[in-house]
Amino acid sequence: MALVNDLPVGSIEYHPATSKPASKYTWTFGIGVSPDYQSDGIGSQLLEHFKKFAQKSGVHKIHLRALGTNPGAIHFYQKHGFETEGILKDEFFINGIFVADYQMAYFFD
């Protein structure tokens, strides 16, 4: 959780990719930062802290999904070393248009 003046402005939630023991080295996560605090470096700090925590925990891979309508998020993750593992074309129908789902990952080994 990221706090500014004791107010929560960002967070990361994570869990193993599945409940199966074979997934214990792969975590799925989501990150969010209040719009008022985006572009202040809070997301970068949260993500770098999370990457260190995951690595110390013995995780091999962290991954997430990003909407194709959010190129800023895709660029953010690429800037932090994530690679696109796959693109699910027309995965969602949002506001009258089909939207791709980018699956992105960061590997520790």
Q: Is the pLDDT of residue 5 over 90?
A: no
The partner residues of 104 in beta bridges, in order of sequence, read: 64, 84
Q: For residues 94 and 69, is the Cβ–Cβ distance under 8 A?
A: yes
Please state the pTM of the whole predicted model: 0.89
Express each pLDDT in 45-87 by its tens digit: 999 999 999 999 999 999 999 999 999 999 999 999 999 999 9
Long-range interactions of 48-57: CB distance < 8 A, separation 24+: 48/80, 50/12, 50/14, 51/80, 51/106, 54/14, 54/27, 54/108, 55/108
Give φ, ψ of 40 to 5 degrees. Answer: -105, 5
